[in-house]
Structure 1
Amino acid sequence: MTKYREILRLSNLNISQENIATSCGVSKKTVSKVLKASKEQNLKWPLVKKLTEEALLSMLFPSTSQAIKVSTKRMPDYEHIRKELLRNGGNKKLLWTEYLEACRLSRDVPLMYSQFCYYIQQDEIKRRASMHINRKPGEQIEVDWAGDTARIIDPDTGEIITAYVFVGVMTYSQYPYVEAFINQKQESWIAAHTNMYKYFGGVTKIIVPDNCKTAVIHNKNWFDQQINTVYHEMAEHYGTAIIPARVRAPKDKPNAEGTVGTISTWILAALREVEFFFTC
């Protein structure tokens, strides 16, 4: 279901409709409709905590709230379509006809031709060349766990403990924050953000995390991904928006990826022969 409460919260933070759409996993058109309906119904943030998404739906769109049904339509095979469109004579109309036949044989509900073309277009947009995006100072921060780990030695037992490195980078200035933890659990993830905010002396409007479990809960379809509950509560507490990077899309957080590489080379690799001892 559309996250109406989150859309209104992020709008109250003056987050752009495009970023709200990305954070909530909906289209920009949906965000625009929700915000327009909220003005018409005089709904403003903060909302009553007991107000559920279903109740918000009925308040925002009373005439359509009962008409929404879960789609059971079969989605196109994008990889197959991309290959076939490159062949001589290949076009969307022909592929849609073949898609209809496949749906008939498998007894699946097909998409209309306009919907079929729309989803193919959305798939093509994701693979287009990227461009430079202007950022504002202090607006956004990218966070991630470094792939390489460090080692800490328990002085009493001699046990080697793995240390996981958290990285937070200001998108505009590329100013980094780095901290090591003995695990990657939720408590460490939240503590890292809290310490990072103290270090920077403030909170950015947007956080761009990777798709780790402490940040994003993955469903069967990654387009329907959800923000981890505790992480979302932290965002509400600090008044910031979480916009996860797309799966397998490192360019969505290039500064964090670049800083991770720098740390791996000039800190972790440079200190690989140095022994560090764990103390309480």
Structure 2
Amino acid sequence: MAGKEKDMSKVKQMLRLHHNGVSNRQIAKDLSVNKETVNRYVKLAKLDELSITDLLKLDDPVLQHRMNGGSPSYPEGERFDDFKKKLSYFEDEMKRPHVTLKLLWEEYIAEHPKGYGLTQFRYHYRQHTKAKRPVSSSLLKDLYTPGEKLMIDYAGDRLEYVDRETGEIVKVQVFVACMPATDYGFAIAVRSQRSEDFIHALAMCLGSLGGVPKIVVSDNLKAAVVKTDPHEPKINRILEDMANHYGFVVIPARSGKPKDKSLVENQVKIVYNRVYAQLRNQKFYSLEELNKAIGRRCRHITVSVCSNILTRAKSSL
């Protein structure tokens, strides 16, 4: 396979999406990996005597052996860095008459014999040029499948409570989530944005929903995404392990693309108006007490959302 062998947690995300009926092309787009990589692992999974469901239950080292046979990895970071340094040169050369990507690849591979093959060369170059194009507006509204996605983020402003023992005011972060198909929202206060608090908040959210979505769309916070990259973002391993345990896929919002998580940002505004503002004159003396109040206000929001949905449904009959 061209490129390094994937972490098995990433491979499990690919196989889970395939098992859910998502096309290989869409999986590659959603997980920011090369389509040929997805094709390879899906093909290997189909050839394996175990079903995809059984493969997903294997420990990572066991799956690694079945998928790759313990083959050594290639220093992908080094190769991509070399390619990235030449991107501006490739762009300038492509503006010249009669120059093709294949010609540039032939020159590139002569200089870097262990570099990308022609397919990956074209893919990375086109991804780069596509990322620089201005985004055209569209009049079509995104259509969401109920229960498919959960969008998550943190509110920018913090809430607070008073420590009973010291009298100190303790500032806390507020985790916000929403199901885009129904606008069902959830909020909980946690002590920080550290991984352990983030995972706790997400687990509480899933418990409140009473189920698990197929996809979690996260912001690029450190607890979710270790390294942002337009081609291959690196998901926090703790979150990936949680995703594989619960059976969902993590797809981070693209950096600089607010529309990817616009509905949860709108949910944050709702939480500001209907939670923060409503609780502004109240004092709380523990995180648990604060979260009980947040929960009561969120239930009011849910009732209001359900009422609006029923009203719209009746008016359409």
1:169-214 CA-partner distances (Å, limit 9, x unpaired): 1011122111112222223222222222232222211111112122
Shift of 1:58: 2.8
Partner of 1:153: 162
What SS is found at the alignment partner of 2:167?
coil
One-letter code of the match for 2:203? T
For residue 99 of structure 2, the aligned residue among 93, 96, 102 is 93
Structure 1 residues 147 and 100: CA distance shift in structure 2, 3 A? farther
Shift of 1:54: 5.0
2:49 matched to 1:38? Answer: no
Is the CA contact (8 Å cut-off) linking 1:13 and 1:239 kept in structure 2?
A: no
Partner of 1:262: 270
Partner of 1:62: none
Structure 1 residues 258 and 78: CA distance shift in structure 2, 3 A? farther
How do residues 127-138 of structure 1 correspond to structure 2 at under 5 angstroms?
127=133, 128-129=135-136, 132-138=141-147
In 2: Cα distance, 1:170 partner to 1:208 partner = 10
Partner of 1:230: 238
Structure 1 residues 160 and 114: CA distance shift in structure 2, 3 A? same
Note the aligned Cα RMSD (angstroms): 3.9
Partner of 1:189: 198
In 2: Cα distance, 1:242 partner to 1:226 partner = 11
Corresponding pairs, count: 268
Partner of 1:12: 19
2:67 matched to 1:56? Answer: yes
2:176 matched to 1:170? Answer: no
Is the CA contact (8 Å cut-off) linking 2:90 and 2:104 kept in structure 1?
A: no
What SS is found at the alignment partner of 2:255?
coil
In 2: Cα distance, 1:187 partner to 1:112 partner = 41
Shift of 1:231: 1.7
Partner of 1:69: 74
Is the CA contact (8 Å cut-off) linking 2:12 and 2:244 kept in structure 1?
A: no
Structure 1 residues 38 and 152: CA distance shift in structure 2, 3 A? same
In terms of fraction of residues, the more helix-rich structure is 2
Q: With structure 2 as the length reference, what TM-score do the two structures score?
A: 0.68
Shift of 1:255: 0.7
Partner of 2:311: none
Deviates most, 94-103 or 118-127: 94-103
Shift of 1:146: 1.1
In 1: Cα distance, 2:233 partner to 2:221 partner = 11
Identity of aligned residues (%): 28
In 1: Cα distance, 2:97 partner to 2:202 partner = 49
